[in-house]
Amino acid sequence: MRKRAVKMSCFYIPAICLILFFVVRPFCETVYVSLCKWNGYSPQKLFIGFENYMEMFSDKRLLTAFINTLIYGLVSTVFQNVIGLGAALFVNSRFKGNNLVRVVIYMPIMISSLIMGYIMYFFLTYDNGVLNDILGAFGMGAVDWLADGKNGVLFITLINTWQYAGYCMIIYLSGLQNISKVYIEAAQIDGAGCFARFRYITLPMLIPAITSAVMIDLVGGLKIFDGIISLTNGGPNYSTHSMMTYLNSQYFLSEKAGYASAIGITTFIMIMAVSLFSNRYFERKSIDM
């Protein structure tokens, strides 16, 4: 038995090698760079200890990016899952045009986030923007929708929600289709109403699907990048940056590779902590139910 386990363990080697070369090694290098003052391309790196990490505490723009990241991650996740679950329940019932509805809800995910950002930019732009043209048709004045960072954050969150809600729908749909009708029918016989059936049968049995959908959305939301670049480019005045886009601007535009690496390490720890916490929470829920 032990011999067989050793043999089977050999199959891990390619994956371990991949992780070592493409995750562990760059991560260690990034940790070292985060302790240096470096412009990102010159051969000289100046070791400065934890100065980059200290600088993060006094960087107001980073604080904005941090708050935005939480909004993009958490708020998008909540909305995507609520909408995704609602849509899944809706399309799980039999009606004419069911497949068409599924396709329409799922379709936005087939467009890359970058392209989606550009499409939405043309909707929201001040001059000749679709939204302003509609306002104009009703005799109303044009609005520079993205001039206020708060609006920008709202639009990015909504667009992200809309784009990925279809993905949640598919996950929940597969979860719903795995629930045996026997339970529902038994509950119906016992006189359980629509809400009670959902609360005490459907929802508990969907916990594995909820775990998958939440984790995927959460990590995706916390790492959001291309949609921001194409819609607002992090502006105006850094007000819509996420941690990832801010990191990019610090590394390549401000030539502060050390500082950007420190942000990267911190973001990594943040995402890992949120993911572990969420995973534990859902595991506990799964056992409780």
Partner 1 sequence: MKRRMKKLAAFGLAITMTAGLLAGCGNAQSDGDKAESKDSDKAAKGDKTLEVEVIYTGEPLDQFREVLDGFTAETGIEIELVTPGSDYEAVMKTRMASGEMPDVFVTHGWSIARYKEYLTALNDEEWYDRIDDPVLPIISDDDENIYVLPVTQVTNGIVYNKTVLEKAGVNVGDIRTMDDFKAACEKIKASGTTPIFVGGKDTWTAAVLYNAMAPAFYTTEGCKYPSGDELKDGSFDWDTKGSCVLEEIADMVQAGYFNKDLVTADNSATLTALGEDACGFSTEVEIVKVLNVAPDAQLGIMPIPCTTEEGKSQYMIGEGSCFGIWKDTKSMDEAKQFLNYLSTPEVADKIMALDGGLPALKDMDTENVSYKAFSESQEIFDGDIFYDNLFDREYFPSGMFNADADAVIEVFMDPSEKGVRAGLEHLKNTFQDKYVAAE
Site residues for partner 1 per CB under 8 A: 7, 10-11, 13-14, 17-18, 21-22, 37, 39-43, 46, 121, 125-127, 144-147, 232-233, 235-238, 249, 251-255, 257
CB of 218 to partner 1, least distance (A): 28
CB of 42 to partner 1, least distance (A): 8
Amino acid at 110: M
Nearer to partner 1 by Cβ, of 125 and 278: the residue is: 125
Nearer to partner 1 by Cβ, of 12 and 277: the residue is: 12
CB of 16 to partner 1, least distance (A): 9
Nearer to partner 1 by Cβ, of 18 and 289: the residue is: 18
Nearer to partner 1 by Cβ, of 212 and 233: the residue is: 233
Nearer to partner 1 by Cβ, of 39 and 188: the residue is: 39
Residue 221: Cβ within 10 Å count: 26
Enter the tokens of residue 159: 């667009």
CB of 108 to partner 1, least distance (A): 23
- Residue 93 · residue 181 · CB < 8 Å: no
CB of 155 to partner 1, least distance (A): 11
